[in-house]
Amino acid sequence: MAGVLLAYSLLASTLLILVWAVYKCALANLGCFRFNRTLLLSCVGISFILPVFILNPFWVADIVENNVEIAFNPVDVAYIANTVLEQITPIWDYIVTLFLIGVIVMILYFLVSLVRLALFILKGEHIKQDDCRIILHRHNSVAPFAWCGYIMMPRRDWYEFGQMIVCHEKAHIECRHWIDLLFMQAAIIITWYCPAIWLLRNELHTLHEYEADSHVLASGVKREEYQMFLIKKTVGARFATLSNCLNHSSLKKRITMMLSSKPTGKARVRAFVMVPAMALALIGLATPAV
């Protein structure tokens, strides 16, 4: 069972590398934030669905030997088989064991992050403002962040930049970005060793910040005032990868994206590059030799 899970993970990792490469080359610099976010999540999901069909036993051809006379002595065949297994099995066992250890570590990290978030919510000072649930905490070194309907920030930031922070983090909550991050965390647990999944999560964080920034500007906040606020709040530790911290993405990229013109509908045509790329990858991975 563990070997099948590792094979599934390797196939998914190969597709994720392809998704990241195509996205980075063709789509990353477009201003279609919601479109790119949907495309990225869909491609990651497809990368974990296609390996199920590749590993389906109905795809594996049964080798039937009819009227073939084996000339080997059964004792010799058993000796050769045991010799090969003695050389191959330990290496495979080590790889599978290392993979399972990584999966367990990622699950523990996820659970620890959830516990830390729960403690922040329970120990903080609760404030109700309109439809927002604001949690004030005493850790001034932690940047403001949002998760699952809660906006958490240091008590000092509430008095200095409270309304601006709420406006930004409320955009994360309304767009349900925390669900995206939970989905990516589940993908990381299965393919923790693949650099592409970590890079894709960073790209998703960036899209979240772009989308939140656009919501803030659309609400009527002046662009210069908002940019100055971001410059002042770029410092601070990021709490957890499960949350959308205010300083998760590059400030230079975010300001540049605010100044860029809105993309036309033709820009989304580039997304179709992903279709032949995924199709070729599926054909290649489904071949018996691979």
Between the CA of residue 14 and those of 54, 114, 189, 284, what are the distances in Å? Answer: 13, 29, 16, 11
Q: How does DSSP assign 186-200, residue by residue?
A: HHHHHSTT-HHHHHH
Low-confidence ranges of the chain (pLDDT < 50): 58-72, 75-77
Total-model pTM: 0.80
Q: What is the pLDDT of residue 249?
A: 60
Which pLDDT value is given to residue 67?
Answer: 47
Question: Tokens 């999944």 correspond to what residue?
Answer: 197
pLDDT at 263: 63
pLDDT at residue 103, rounded to an integer? 94
CA distances to 66, 78, 149, 215 from 63, in Å: 10, 20, 56, 59
- pLDDT tens per residue across span 227-271: 888 877 765 555 556 676 665 566 777 777 777 756 656 666 777
Which position has the token pair 């939140």?
212
What's the full length of the chain, in residues?
A: 290
Which token pair is 268? 């989304």
